[in-house]
Amino acid sequence: MDAAVPRGKTLWARTWPNSGLVDVAVDRAGNTFVAGVQGEAVAIDSLLLAKGGYVICFGPDGSLRWAKQIPGSNLVNLKVATDPSGAFIYISALAAGPPAAFRLDGAMAAAGRIFVMKVEAATGTGVWANSIALEEEMDETLVDRIATNGREVVVAGRFAAKSLATTSGGVGLTSSPERGFDGFLVGFTAENGLGKWASRVGGSGDSTAPSVLSDRLSDVQVAADGEHFLVAGGMAGDPVTATTGGAALSRIGTNSNAFVGSFVAVDGTVEWSRLYGGTGKAVGISAASSSVSDLVYFGGWISGQVDLGTDVAAGNDQGYVLAMDTSHRSTRWSKLLDGVGAVCSVRTDDAGDLMAYGSISKQGFSLEGIAVEGEAAGTTSGAFVAKWSSSGELLWLKGYGSGDAHIVPLAMVVTPSGGVRMVGLTDHTFIMSPDEQPALQTTNQSAFVIALAP
């Protein structure tokens, strides 16, 4: 592929210091929503953002539209999603330590450990809030993703507790002592926030020590048909089962496997699921489906020999992407990405193309003959975003970083036309692109959001 191939053009970028983990969502009009936790007070334009949880709305041009503080000094892992209408966003959060209340304007949830909230997209006004309580928890719960089809809202993550139950709606899960860690999905009714269904996904005999290899559901996304949710994760137990049905899956090899599955939106029933594994270790981090084909895209991390469906890949702590035919659950194509530490997000646009976002782990990073340019070529701790066609042809690649910057890519979303919004953390100034904007000026641990054109 020659240098004339078009690449994603930077539209705008924003950064602010002293931030914890951040997440991003975008609506069909191009408005971008960022949720996170601020470690110290900071001014964004004329707005002072205090310490604690927050959600910010940027317009299509990157201008600040509104920002809302979410009270609670112990909130972590805020996640955000937009509904198809663009009228509302949904936020999930985790309270670190003792259970806490969760509120925004008139929306308030009872004390719990996991929270979900509906917010008006135009103003940031809270509509409703609900919480999930955990019994005899090992304090290793994670909330990894939230998604909505406009009717159901689903939260995914990992829990290590005797039980999990919504405080409104009466939906819950019960674990057992020998199970260790499990992935969870909890579905809520979008209209009023009542708990609707819950599913525990995991295998018996999982490690009692939390790690990236513990049973965990790290991503949930609305499938292209709007009637299912796609789920990605990693499974260390055996066999892998879900409390909402589906076949028991036997782990491949003796190490962790990557998990991908489809769950019916209305009741959480398992439509299908699959594991990828081998003698090495595999984790699924993100999944998405195409609206113009029967493909599901899947990405994550492997170490050692893992069968990705087309052949056995031997990776040394490397990222991967693959396209799976949903009719037969067979791999159409797969790519082991040399120089990628992990793929943290895969998403699709209305044309069915795949976008992937992840970490760069070696200097001179390139994919399929296309190299990153400028200072990013010298980084061993940067970020990349790449676009492939549905047939697996690499269309463009961009890299971010510098010799001094340590970049942590966190999440990416895609507009219907193929525009990209990505967020992460960095501890040093880095160059946007040799032919585009100047460096993002950062201090301390800074959050960033970057918008790319299709």
Looking at every residue in the chain, the average pLDDT score rounds to 87
> Model confidence at 3, in pLDDT bands (50, 70, 90)?
very low
- What's the rounded mean pLDDT across residues 81-86? 96
Tokens of 401: 């970083």
C-alpha torsion sign, points 103, 81, 88, 453: positive
Query: Using CA atoms, how far apart are residues 138 and 158, in angstroms rounded to an integer?
Result: 11
pLDDT, tens digit, for every residue of 269-285? 999 999 999 999 999 99
Q: What is the pLDDT of residue 177?
A: 52
* Sequence-separated (6 or more) residues with CB below 8 Å from residue 324: 260, 274, 295, 296, 297, 298, 309, 330, 331, 332
pLDDT, tens digit, for every residue of 393-407? 999 999 888 777 789
Highest-pLDDT range among 139-143, 360-364, 435-439: 360-364
Higher pLDDT, 331 or 113: 331
Q: Which fold has domain 10-452?
A: Methylamine Dehydrogenase; Chain H (2.130.10)
> CA-CA distances (angstroms) from residue 328 to 89, 259, 274, 296, 389?
34, 16, 11, 11, 21
Residue 421 pLDDT > 80: yes
Where are the domains positioned within the chain? 10-452
